[in-house]
Amino acid sequence: MTGKILVIHGPNLNLLGRREPEVYGTATLEELNGGLVAYAKTRGAELRIVQLNAEGAIIEALHEAMTWADGVILNPGAYTHYSLAIYDAVLACGLRTVEVHLSNIYAREEFRRHSVIAPACIGQICGFGPTSYRLALDALLDQ
């Protein structure tokens, strides 16, 4: 596929580096994004990266991406576990989407072990910190 990719960081991910570093690591969102952009360059991909706390804003970003993006990397944060509106938006936009998580959601609290959004995605990658995003990019570009 051609490589215009929207990256959406969901709620609370603006606090990366300070937020529960034992779970999410010490890299800031800026550092994560810097590494991802550098990697995307080596793969010939073009990224637009947004961090959005509000559910509606994530949905609007998905709608807007229909006009330009080839794929989406989506970390829905806690919306992962209950937002049927984001699930619907992923289906509605028709863009190939990979769900990512920094942490291994299956090794955490019970409520995190289920994603309502993953069934709308081509796949899910979790547990590898910032590398989860790089793997998601590879997955989108290689298929």
Active site residues: 24, 101
Q: Which of residues 50-109 bind ligand DQA (CB under 6 A)?
A: 75, 77-78, 80, 101-103, 105
Strands (E) in the chain, as ranges, are 4-9, 46-51, 71-75, 96-101, 123-126
Query: C-beta of 74: minimal distance to ligand DQA in Å?
Result: 10
Contact 24, 102 (CB under 8 A): yes
Any idea what DSSP says for residue 130? T
Letter string b/e over residues 18-53, b meaning 16 or more CB atoms within 10 A of that residue's CB: eeeeeebbebebeebbeebeebbeeeebebebebbe
Contact between 112 and ligand DQA per CB under 6 A: yes
Contact between 1 and ligand DQA per CB under 6 A: no
Rounded CA-CA distance 1/142 in Å is: 7
User: 69 vs 136, which CB is nearer to ligand DQA?
Assistant: 136
User: 10 vs 71, which CB is nearer to ligand DQA?
Assistant: 10
Query: C-beta of 75: minimal distance to ligand DQA in Å?
Result: 5
Contact between 25 and ligand DQA per CB under 6 A: no
User: 80 vs 83, which CB is nearer to ligand DQA?
Assistant: 80
Rounded CA-CA distance 46/2 in Å is: 9
Q: Which residues bind ligand DQA (CB under 6 A)?
A: 12, 75, 77-78, 80, 101-103, 105, 112
